[in-house]
Amino acid sequence: MNILFDHAPTERKRRSANEKILDISFIRLTQILAFSVAGVLIWIAIQVGIQAQPAIQELGFSFLTTSAWNPPAPKFGVLPMIYGTIISSLIALLIAFPIGLASAIVLSEDFLPQSWRQILTFMIELLAAIPSVVYGLWEIYVLIPFLKPIGSWLHDNWGWLPLSSVCFLHLMIKLAGKRII
């Protein structure tokens, strides 16, 4: 008797030749599709590289490491944008990871009654089904007008805080683009 299961082990049914052919065909099809996805990604990277050649020849790779942005004298640098993207992504991960892990643990273990777990699981799945663009639009039209007075109050009373006013709204907008689940 198996310790992990209360029922006796079942006999394995032999598969027919047709089932084996279908299994092998499915494996080959998924391999072909996986390699085609990798091929498309490589093709996109090559096309981006080809299209970027004039800019790379004109500006060099300093485009990635400088912060100057002066269109009249063609000097462009995207370092602040890259840095901002990385930092906002890390902040989003620092917020989302503990929330996601905690909700997964609470819903998968017996911390709550089954009826509560079922409701919360349904709500989380419903949130995951909504595209992040919808969350971003909701934030722009509903959340930002609601939180703007709070940001102004923070700026007026504690303007020296790093998360006041403009920084508060900027962080909020960046995090909405990263879709916190």
pLDDT at 139: 82
- Mean pLDDT calculated for residue range 22-45: 97
Exposure of 44 in the CB half-sphere (CA atoms within 13 A): 6
* Residue 99 CB contacts under 8 Å (≥ 6 apart), including other chains: 180
**Domain residue limits, the chain:** 17-77
pLDDT at 107: 86
Interatomic CA distance for residues 107 and 5, integer angstroms = 23
* Cα 77–chain centre separation: 26
Please say if the pLDDT value at position 115 is more than 70.
yes
- pTM for the model: 0.51
Please, which residues bridge with residue 69 across strands?
A: 76
At residue 68, the 3 state secondary structure works out as coil
